[in-house]
Structure 1
């Protein structure tokens, strides 16, 4: 039998790793983890997690596994050759000294420990007879070798642990939560050790960094920031004006704890990441979304790509992670493997910015997630300019604990008075170029419409009217979109004296720090409107009486709103209620408190009624999630409202053909991982994501070719029109009005 017991092969890597060496790496990370976040677990659970780390891989001491890691000439005779390999996690339990563990911890704790080891990898169903044969006939040969490595194991491996690994025990919610902590954090230690990563990175002096940033600008904490700094140990729902400094407030609330900061749009996530990383100078922050590698590559420029930051961000090891909600909230599905994320969130603070911008299904996931997180000991902060009361109602129903101040936090001017920023005019007709050019264009003009198609039509109309105009929406290749995002942010800076006109979609609705002078917008619904208004007179008093916000409700309906189409931008009931209530404030100064009162008038269960599809989807999803049993679902839930396909427009391919082919050739040369990531990111600069339904409709008639990198990476070339000025122009009509 083997005397050197391997955990990892040396065939594919430079150095083989023994079971003891690998275990020592887990235990070392366990100690450092406990130093950084000592309150993540109780004293007893820290000990239990160390036991799980100690025993999780001893089951690799079996002939089949050891043979698998060695070259043919080094393999040994397998007396059980006719039996398929039994997963090592199952065998690890056979080596564990059950009687001694029971004396040390008690029955309930040992059940949790055994379950964590037994299921630390999700495997196929147990083959009990095969497992028994391997334990009785093979494991006995490795006891002395394990003892020599310093493992305290059974002298005779036992298969009588079945009652300790029955998942029925986890039907009790307290037991499930306890299991999640130990199993999830065992996975975290294991992945970090295997990937040669830190399990957690110490946060450093976050508060000192924010204080220093304030001092350098001559700022003092406002009421919101004082409040969140004072009540760091509570959960909060905070309603506050746009531009009031919610990001800084969130960092004060975060303090020295681990943070997960979620926002609805990638452009706003990138902007917040850059503010914290560059402006504040806090470097221990990660950027996590579907384009994260591309964003890291952009920021690296000619420098080497920071794989340290990327890999630690992916493992949620950074003290602060800025992310999209779909990357983190899927644990609510309780699918096999969900434990890692929930275990991390059990000692983290979860920040949710602008919750009202999510679909009803996603809001249901978020609220159910907050239920699990708070049950496990984690904290949350919801901060938003507008909060539908039906969300608060649902949180009370779920018994989620939180504080909510009686009054919203409103942005004050230099005299300590509440800022008045918006005078509203509603026009019950379509938004046209004529409506805009009737006003002075010698200022910063922002136009926000509901669909890309409407934005492109307006752009054409402005060009025909001989007006210089810029366009930003989701249907530009990444390279062009990045340039446009940087350009609108530059014009939108308060100290920028330039003027210009920008036509956009909802891309700029949330947490993008731009400040324009006048807004022309289609109505979607009230929360979306107030988000859009937050991009105009963001931090300034408006002293005029002429409207600086013009809202167009359409002759019948504005673009993207339909009474029945499932791809409608917003639920028709919510649109109609918003229109009805907002008309009462036509031609008026809209005070900040009034905006919040309007939300309460619209987004209640009584007002929306039973025919509201938004409310139905919210209720159905929340009920489904409340009734989900652990491990009932086998796959992660799909959280994106629209499934996308990444394509290259034919016009872009023609223009960049040489560059694309050079990238393909260099990728065939099997470059280093860093170089491969950079090359793939260069290629992705020429791509756009479009809805799967649009791709399927275009596939037969408009597909020209495809760029194939490997079996996982394929970019169809689609012969839709594309220009740098207008973006991708659909050649199909169905649904185009709604996206």
Structure 2
């Protein structure tokens, strides 16, 4: 046998046939929608598929699999480990095919780099393997593959490989399509999932059916989205306008990627779309950093197949985060798969204003690249920074005159009367406690540290009707708290106070009677307003939102902190005229438009950061970084997963058993212990605690030493954890920092 894979066992021919099956599936499903590919390109792709793995016939590769299977090794005249993708190119009989010079280069690069290796192609080594091992076996390879193999020894293709494509190359996007689709076919075949799933399940029809079944009439936003299915769309719409349904109506019959900034929001929409009491749509996938666990618990008996399909971008509709599918502007090695998948597809970006300026720059760049491969986009947001619109207008690939733009806000819906207070929440705790005796009161502050301090003080004043929610509870307890705040909020007559961070801005559907909030940047602040009188009109003349504006005392303001001070100050200047007045929906949109106008932003760190990021992406050389490095740059703040010491003490014996347990028994334990973990910014451990000791010392040890074990990334943290799941009260992690605040 001439092996391609050891588990499950597959020959090169069998694996290639699977790719060809997926090639036919892809072409049948979306071939007529990929206008960027010509008939000749499809022919080239089929040839590339047939030859992409023939280099695996190399004796060194075969012996590696034979050793894994306990079989006798073959004699091999050389002993070098050479990536099979380079050797595959050396076996292609280019003289047999009528290829242009451009087509030959495309072929060589698509096959030669269908695996991105650290090991560069070396002519002498490749020549040795071809001359001593592969070409002497050419007849056997030809019989096995039913494919002609070159009779001529030539390594001139290495010269082609050493000059990689760049964005200025006229054939750059043609190359992206050929190599990217080869990646998709190869990965789908290896995972044994269809390259495209649910092709005949248009989500637009399911959305129509769902709305009709509940007697919902399409509003102006939804009709606008449906009418502009063939165009790019920018829609500004206030909370409660049915933006999810509008986006799905715009998706119509096309393959669609729906991105949201927060995993909890994605999970909620995924459930609403897929569950029987919702849209009962079965062709949706879910992809984010913890999607595997969510699907394991909520995805039914075939969740593993669904997860594999999601990872391979196979689903008709994929609910996901931007770091999973839109990081291709980094041009990392292997980015072609993501970008090629956008061809003929639609991408929805929800709430673009919540992203940091450098991430927003990446999104603006990604929209340009999506258009270049024939995809379409919808930006759906409550507020749209003018800066981003101006940058889109300046891009070559996007004609803004052909982008459908709509603004959907109700000037008659008055939900918020604000009062600005040049003080901090701590100065008004007696008042807050009094209001919490007959109202549902929400406090939002900018850092975890401030939230915990307020919880301790207010608990002394108001007793048990005070609750705390932030990101530094364990995954299990945070999920419980998020459910509890919804349940609490649904009880109309149940008063009390919840103290939270910006965690609740866009992830939790709640509607409190009164909001007390530290000032943040305007777009974040307006998101906070959506947690108060979310679903009702203000029916009295008193303020229902109290904004604390002492920038020297509120938390999270300043360089290298949560919010840039200059941006907050500029926003405060715009808010000043609304002190004591109604802040209606059109005003919110207009204030963000003013704040984020390039002229108004002049001199701010925000504008400098955005412009530097745009310059970075414009000048980036392709193929210089790995996907992991791109992911880290995109996430910006790298997180560390920890389990507090007092919680880990309860698991010590089980961990010892886990270390030696069979692989099949480990997953359940990993899930159980991961529910007790917390994700913390790595940067916080650069600081010191209240005693002046480096916080890095608090990371005591890894739960598991084996670097291949998923739990090896979990650290035991020297810190106390406090939470009572019966009362849903407690502070979470308890340890004091000297200078640095903890975020959200």
The normalised TM-score by structure 1 is 0.91
Q: For structure 1, which segment, 447-456 or 718-727, has the greater mean C-alpha deviation from structure 2 after superposition?
A: 718-727
Q: What is the aligned partner in structure 2 of residue 687 from structure 1? A: 677
For residue 648 of structure 1, give the secondary structure of its aligned residue in structure 2.
Answer: strand
| Equivalent-residue separation in structure 2 for 1:499 and 1:692 (angstroms) | 38
For residue 589 of structure 1, give the secondary structure of its aligned residue in structure 2.
Answer: coil
After superposition, the Cα gap between the structure-2 partners of 1:405 and 1:177, relative to the gap in structure 1 and judged at 3 Å, is closer
Q: Check conservation: 1:699, 1:718, Cα contact below 8 A.
A: no
| Equivalent-residue separation in structure 1 for 2:484 and 2:129 (angstroms) | 65
Residues 294-322 of structure 1: per-residue CA shift (max 9 Å, x gap): 3223326xx75721122222222222222
Q: How far 1:526 moved relative to its partner? A: 0.9
Q: What is the aligned partner in structure 1 of residue 616 from structure 2? A: 624
Q: How far 1:679 moved relative to its partner? A: 2.2
| Equivalent-residue separation in structure 2 for 1:651 and 1:172 (angstroms) | 57
Q: For structure 1, which segment, 19-28 or 261-270, has the greater mean C-alpha deviation from structure 2 after superposition?
A: 261-270
Q: Check conservation: 2:228, 2:404, Cα contact below 8 A.
A: no
Q: Check conservation: 2:433, 2:462, Cα contact below 8 A.
A: no
| Equivalent-residue separation in structure 1 for 2:169 and 2:470 (angstroms) | 45
What is the number of equivalent residue pairs in this alignment?
711
Q: For structure 1, which segment, 262-271 or 70-79, has the greater mean C-alpha deviation from structure 2 after superposition?
A: 70-79
Q: Check conservation: 1:355, 1:387, Cα contact below 8 A.
A: yes
Question: How does 1:483-522 map onto structure 2 within 5 Å?
Answer: 483-493=480-490, 498-522=494-518
Q: What is the aligned partner in structure 1 of residue 590 from structure 2? A: 597
Q: What is the aligned partner in structure 1 of residue 127 from structure 2? A: 132
1:242 is the counterpart of 2:232: no
Q: How far 1:737 moved relative to its partner? A: 6.1
Q: Check conservation: 1:520, 1:550, Cα contact below 8 A.
A: yes
After superposition, the Cα gap between the structure-2 partners of 1:133 and 1:583, relative to the gap in structure 1 and judged at 3 Å, is same
Q: What is the aligned partner in structure 2 of residue 28 from structure 1? A: 21
After superposition, the Cα gap between the structure-2 partners of 1:701 and 1:68, relative to the gap in structure 1 and judged at 3 Å, is closer
The normalised TM-score by structure 2 is 0.90
1:424 is the counterpart of 2:414: no
Q: Check conservation: 1:354, 1:510, Cα contact below 8 A.
A: no
Q: How far 1:182 moved relative to its partner? A: 0.9
Q: What is the aligned partner in structure 2 of residue 719 from structure 1? A: 718
1:734 is the counterpart of 2:739: yes
After superposition, the Cα gap between the structure-2 partners of 1:525 and 1:99, relative to the gap in structure 1 and judged at 3 Å, is same
After superposition, the Cα gap between the structure-2 partners of 1:93 and 1:707, relative to the gap in structure 1 and judged at 3 Å, is closer
Q: How far 1:640 moved relative to its partner? A: 1.6
Q: What is the aligned partner in structure 1 of residue 223 from structure 2? A: 226
Q: What is the aligned partner in structure 2 of residue 540 from structure 1? A: 536
Q: How far 1:275 moved relative to its partner? A: 2.0
Q: What is the aligned partner in structure 2 of residue 115 from structure 1? A: 109
Q: Check conservation: 2:232, 2:404, Cα contact below 8 A.
A: no
1:287 is the counterpart of 2:250: no
1:552 is the counterpart of 2:548: yes
| Equivalent-residue separation in structure 1 for 2:261 and 2:472 (angstroms) | 18
Q: For structure 1, which segment, 357-366 or 323-332, has the greater mean C-alpha deviation from structure 2 after superposition?
A: 323-332
| Equivalent-residue separation in structure 2 for 1:318 and 1:497 (angstroms) | 44
Task: Select which of 607, 610, 614 maps to 1:615.
Answer: 607
| Equivalent-residue separation in structure 2 for 1:73 and 1:666 (angstroms) | 32
Q: Check conservation: 2:234, 2:406, Cα contact below 8 A.
A: no
For residue 588 of structure 1, give the secondary structure of its aligned residue in structure 2.
Answer: coil
After superposition, the Cα gap between the structure-2 partners of 1:537 and 1:443, relative to the gap in structure 1 and judged at 3 Å, is same
Q: Check conservation: 1:238, 1:404, Cα contact below 8 A.
A: no
Q: What is the aligned partner in structure 1 of residue 691 from structure 2? A: none
1:147 is the counterpart of 2:142: yes
Q: What is the aligned partner in structure 2 of residue 651 from structure 1? A: 646
After superposition, the Cα gap between the structure-2 partners of 1:694 and 1:543, relative to the gap in structure 1 and judged at 3 Å, is same
Question: How does 1:209-358 map onto structure 2 within 5 Å?
Answer: 209-278=206-275, 279-299=278-298, 306-358=303-355
Task: Select which of 81, 89, 100 maps to 1:106.
Answer: 100
Residues 583-618 of structure 1: per-residue CA shift (max 9 Å, x gap): 1111111121111111122111211222x1111111
1:92 is the counterpart of 2:81: no
Q: Check conservation: 1:652, 1:686, Cα contact below 8 A.
A: yes
Question: How does 1:61-76 map onto structure 2 within 5 Å?
Answer: 61-71=57-67, 74-76=72-74
Q: How far 1:157 moved relative to its partner? A: 4.9
Task: Select which of 75, 78, 83 maps to 1:80.
Answer: 78
Task: Select which of 183, 203, 213 maps to 2:179.
Answer: 183
Q: Check conservation: 1:721, 1:731, Cα contact below 8 A.
A: no
For residue 541 of structure 1, give the secondary structure of its aligned residue in structure 2.
Answer: coil
After superposition, the Cα gap between the structure-2 partners of 1:737 and 1:16, relative to the gap in structure 1 and judged at 3 Å, is closer
Q: Check conservation: 2:234, 2:405, Cα contact below 8 A.
A: no
After superposition, the Cα gap between the structure-2 partners of 1:135 and 1:605, relative to the gap in structure 1 and judged at 3 Å, is same
Q: For structure 1, which segment, 133-142 or 452-461, has the greater mean C-alpha deviation from structure 2 after superposition?
A: 133-142
For residue 639 of structure 1, give the secondary structure of its aligned residue in structure 2.
Answer: helix
Q: Check conservation: 1:267, 1:507, Cα contact below 8 A.
A: no
Q: How far 1:704 moved relative to its partner? A: 5.0
Residues 61-116 of structure 1: per-residue CA shift (max 9 Å, x gap): 233222332247633322234xx133221221222221332x2x533233212210
Q: For structure 1, which segment, 374-383 or 146-155, has the greater mean C-alpha deviation from structure 2 after superposition?
A: 146-155
After superposition, the Cα gap between the structure-2 partners of 1:514 and 1:665, relative to the gap in structure 1 and judged at 3 Å, is same
Q: How far 1:154 moved relative to its partner? A: 2.5
Q: How far 1:625 moved relative to its partner? A: 0.8
Question: How does 1:419-458 map onto structure 2 within 5 Å?
Answer: 419-432=413-426, 433-439=429-435, 441-458=437-454
Q: How far 1:134 moved relative to its partner? A: 2.6
| Equivalent-residue separation in structure 1 for 2:285 and 2:467 (angstroms) | 31
Residues 313-348 of structure 1: per-residue CA shift (max 9 Å, x gap): 222222222222222332211121111111112332
After superposition, the Cα gap between the structure-2 partners of 1:168 and 1:683, relative to the gap in structure 1 and judged at 3 Å, is closer
For residue 704 of structure 2, give the secondary structure of its aligned residue in structure 1.
Answer: strand
| Equivalent-residue separation in structure 1 for 2:735 and 2:38 (angstroms) | 57
Q: How far 1:436 moved relative to its partner? A: 1.9
After superposition, the Cα gap between the structure-2 partners of 1:285 and 1:699, relative to the gap in structure 1 and judged at 3 Å, is same
Q: How far 1:688 moved relative to its partner? A: 0.8
Residues 554-604 of structure 1: per-residue CA shift (max 9 Å, x gap): 273421112xx31x2111111001111101111111121111111122111
| Equivalent-residue separation in structure 1 for 2:434 and 2:624 (angstroms) | 60
Q: How far 1:481 moved relative to its partner? A: 0.2
Question: How does 1:564-603 map onto structure 2 within 5 Å?
Answer: 565-566=559-560, 568-603=561-596
After superposition, the Cα gap between the structure-2 partners of 1:458 and 1:626, relative to the gap in structure 1 and judged at 3 Å, is same
| Equivalent-residue separation in structure 2 for 1:341 and 1:292 (angstroms) | 18
Task: Select which of 372, 379, 387 maps to 1:390.
Answer: 387
Q: How far 1:237 moved relative to its partner? A: 1.6
| Equivalent-residue separation in structure 2 for 1:738 and 1:85 (angstroms) | 47
Task: Select which of 679, 703, 708 maps to 2:704.
Answer: 708
Q: How far 1:511 moved relative to its partner? A: 4.9
Q: Check conservation: 1:60, 1:66, Cα contact below 8 A.
A: yes
1:42 is the counterpart of 2:55: no
Q: For structure 1, which segment, 548-557 or 470-479, has the greater mean C-alpha deviation from structure 2 after superposition?
A: 548-557
Q: How far 1:265 moved relative to its partner? A: 2.0
Q: For structure 1, which segment, 376-385 or 462-471, has the greater mean C-alpha deviation from structure 2 after superposition?
A: 462-471
